[in-house]
Amino acid sequence: MGDEAVKEHMWPIAQAIFTEMDPNTGAKVLFAIIFVLCVLVYKLGFAKKLPLLKAAVVYAVLFFGCSVLTFLGYFLPIAEGLSITALILAVYKVRLHQAKKGRNAA
């Protein structure tokens, strides 16, 4: 299978990255995108106030876990799914903030 045939089976974000960049740089960019999206999803949906060392451990585990997600992200919609999840959680947080603000004003 040639490069074009492989790129044909990728999901849009991975395909756009690997079409514009060489494979080594593309892998790093895909990893960075997936890591940033994972951190965003974590902060929007699951983060609690943690001491500095515990937070560092959480982000280190998240960093290493994203390497597995990057490997899967070549041919599965990992970045796309994380983007949608971040969008849904952001909308939820905004509506939750508005509801709390409305309750406090009343």
pLDDT tens digit sequence for 17-65: 988 999 899 999 999 999 999 999 999 998 889 999 999 999 999 999 9
Query: What b/e string do you get for 21-32 counting C-beta neighbours within 10 Å, with b at 16 or more?
Result: eeeeebbebbbe
What's the N-to-C CA distance of the chain in angstroms? 64
- Is the model's pLDDT at 106 over the cut of 70? no
What pTM was computed for the model? Answer: 0.88
Q: What is the mean pLDDT of residues 66-74?
A: 93
Alpha carbons 74 and 77: distance in angstroms, whole number = 8
- How many domains is the chain built from? 1
For residue 44, count other CB atoms closer than 10 A to its CB: 17
Which tokens in the block code for residue 1? Answer: 């299978």
The boundaries of the domain holding residue 61 are 3-105
- Pull the structure tokens for residue 102: 């409305």
